[in-house]
């Protein structure tokens, strides 16, 4: 079944703005089919498994039908469980965020009656609830359905399995006859068909088949992580497994830009794709990615659609996709041509319910894993270095340095101490035994050499976080920034912010002087104007940047 942009489905500008804010660039098949029917006022029967994106399919037209000037219940959604009711209510809240007068509330057993009484008395227009608690409020007179326009049965087959049929019939008999009715069910047993026949009028039938699209060569895992820890866990996993080539999927264009900037600052070779990237830029990025000129492509689903890239080591779902179908499309980009691949998904908070729905919908084989500790990352890195060292020794792929070793032995140093000192030097200089981020912090260069201009490939001055200026490098101009040590800013922060915002190579940045409350950064002369203009007003460590060119001889 086809997918179409949300802009072609007849939604209002306010709703389209909310959809764009959530990062949905294209409607799923069930959304494409159901939304126009819902907006037209048709009764709809949707046969679709959980995880297909059906919540937005009924929520969007329902939101459009609400008259925000009327403080009465106009939409009722029945759900089998409290978890689903909360999830659906959250979705309504996000999709209606630009309709300030629209109010929604979940009502279910186990929650305080007082809170529900206050919400219903305040004049909510959308109620999402479990059948038992909805009937309870109807009996108390705290939920009146005289003004109801839309009633939705979400996961109707599950509600029947849980014994809610009599409750559902009681509720449907009490709502106005003129209301619109939308049924959603993964299966169509006789009981569901009887309810549809009795309580809908000439319904439109929409059927979305669930497909098992697992790639047998893809090892699928997920991690339950705090939303604020995603970046740290992502870099930890990249370092643990030494991934060098993959795609990181985000749900929104804003998240793509932010993650690109953060990874750039930490020294990972990355680039980005989303709906605002021009075709010319897209072509350049993909050409570099196929040549492995950088390690990780950060992208939204729509931007990554149709990519013909082989040999990916890993696909990260930094954000959960909209539905199970998008998930299977994402993970199918690794493990191709008979080769093994990995798909790693991050789940935060209540997203675990959404993931479980997608597992059911797409019949996924995905297991939960524990987040690796820093000690485990260090151990894995040490083991990898040991294996490279052993392989080099066995293959004798090194130039003998007998003379230097003999000199050290003659001076009384033990052979084991000499070897240990050499390994220590390799680690201290950012060789494979050291984390990428730490190595890059010593010499900021967030893009690989082949992606920089020839002028930028020359070695840049490096040194401690705070160093005295001994003279300005030819071809560079000092730019002052109103952040410094007091704001806990590091050279990597400044390089990452400059490169991330301007999209220029990190090599345009020269020496950096960090002072207590300001910094001086040497910028290549030809890029000074662009850096000053584009960084003005950008936030770094809670500070709004105010870059300015330092006058010759300035402090």
Whether residue 123 contacts residue 103, with contact meaning beta carbons closer than 8 Å, is answered with yes
* Most confident option among 74-83, 201-210, 355-364, 492-501: 74-83
Q: Where are the alpha helices (DSSP H) in 429-507?
A: 436-442, 491-502
CA atoms within 13 A on the CB side of 427: 15
d(C-alpha 242, C-alpha 435), whole Å:
10
Q: Where are the alpha helices (DSSP H) in 448-490?
A: none
* pLDDT band, residue 51 (cuts 50/70/90): low
Q: Could you tell me the residue ranges of all domains in the chain?
A: 6-207, 218-372, 375-438, 447-549
- CA torsion 119→120→125→128, rounded to 10°? 80
**511 Rama class: left (phi>0) / alpha (psi -120 to 50) / beta:** beta
pLDDT of residue 467: 37
d(C-alpha 3, C-alpha 29), whole Å:
5
CATH superfamily membership of 447-549: RRM (RNA recognition motif) domain (3.30.70.330)
pLDDT of residue 458: 31
* pLDDT band, residue 510 (cuts 50/70/90): confident
pLDDT digits (tens, 9 = 90+) for 57-81: 999 999 999 999 999 999 999 999 8
CATH 3.40.50.300 fits 218-372, yes or no: yes
Residues 6+ apart with CB under 8 A from 345: 220, 221, 222, 223, 316, 317, 320, 327, 355, 366
Q: Identical fold at 6-207 and 218-372?
A: yes
* pLDDT band, residue 28 (cuts 50/70/90): confident
Q: What dotted CATH number matches 6-207?
A: 3.40.50.300
């Amino acid at each position: 079944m086809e997918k179409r942009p949300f802009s072609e489905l007849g939604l209002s500008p306010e709703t389209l703005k909310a959809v764009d804010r959530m990062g949905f660039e294209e409607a799923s098949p069930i959304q494409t089919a159901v939304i126009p029917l819902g907006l037209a006022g048709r009764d709809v029967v949707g046969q679709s498994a959980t995880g297909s994106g059906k919540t937005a399919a009924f929520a969007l037209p329902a939101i459009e039908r609400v008259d925000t000037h009327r403080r009465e219940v106009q939409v009722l959604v029945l759900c089998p469980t409290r978890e689903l009711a909360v999830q659906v209510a959250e979705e309504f809240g996000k999709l209606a965020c630009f309709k300030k007068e629209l109010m929604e509330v979940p009502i279910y057993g186990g929650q305080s009656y007082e809170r529900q009484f206050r919400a219903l008395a305040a004049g909510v227009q959308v109620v999402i609830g479990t059948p038992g608690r909805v009937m309870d409020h109807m009996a108390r007179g705290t939920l009146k359905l005289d003004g109801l326009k839309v009633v939705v049965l979400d996961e109707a087959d599950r509600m029947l399995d849980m014994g809610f049929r009599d409750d559902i019939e009681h509720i449907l008999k009490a709502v106005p006859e003129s209301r619109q009715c939308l049924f959603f069910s993964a299966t169509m047993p006789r009981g569901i068909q009887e309810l549809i026949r009795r309580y809908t009028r000439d319904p439109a039938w929409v059927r979305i088949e669930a497909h098992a699209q697992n790639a047998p060569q893809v090892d699928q895992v997920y991690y339950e992580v705090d939303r604020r820890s995603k970046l740290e866990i992502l870099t930890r996993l990249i370092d643990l497994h030494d991934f060098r080539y993959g795609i990181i999927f985000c749900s929104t264009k804003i998240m793509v830009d932010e993650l690109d900037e953060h990874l750039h600052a930490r020294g990972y070779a990355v680039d980005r794709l989303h709906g605002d990237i021009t075709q010319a830029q897209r072509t350049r990025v993909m050409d570099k990615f196929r040549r492995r000129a950088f390690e990780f492509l950060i992208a939204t689903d729509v931007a990554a659609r149709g990519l013909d890239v082989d040999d990916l080591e890993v696909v990260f779902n930094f954000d959960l996709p909209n539905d199970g179908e998008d998930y299977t499309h994402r993970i199918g980009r690794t493990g191709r041509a008979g080769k093994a691949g990995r798909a790693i998904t991050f789940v935060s908070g209540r997203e675990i319910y959404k993931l479980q729905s997608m597992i059911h919908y797409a019949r996924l084989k995905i297991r939960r894993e524990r987040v690796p500790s820093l000690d485990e990352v260090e151990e894995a890195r040490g083991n990898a270095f040991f294996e490279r060292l052993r392989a080099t020794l066995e293959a004798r792929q090194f130039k003998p340095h007998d003379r230097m070793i003999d000199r050290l032995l003659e001076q009384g140093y033990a052979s084991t101490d000499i070897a240990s000192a050499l390994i220590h030097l390799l680690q201290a200089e950012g060789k494979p035994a050291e984390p990428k981020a730490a190595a890059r912090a010593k010499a900021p260069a967030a893009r690989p050499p082949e992606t920089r201009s020839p002028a930028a490939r020359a070695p840049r001055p490096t040194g401690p976080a705070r160093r005295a200026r001994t003279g300005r490098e030819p071809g560079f101009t000092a730019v002052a920034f109103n952040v410094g040590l007091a704001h806990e800013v590091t050279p990597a922060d400044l390089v990452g912010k400059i490169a991330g915002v301007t999209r220029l190579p990190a090599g345009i940045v020269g020496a950096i002087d960090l002072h207590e409350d300001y910094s001086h950064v040497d910028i290549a002369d030809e890029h000074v104007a662009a850096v000053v203009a584009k960084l003005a007003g950008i936030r770094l460590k809670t500070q709004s940047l105010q870059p300015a060119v330092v006058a010759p001889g300035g402090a």
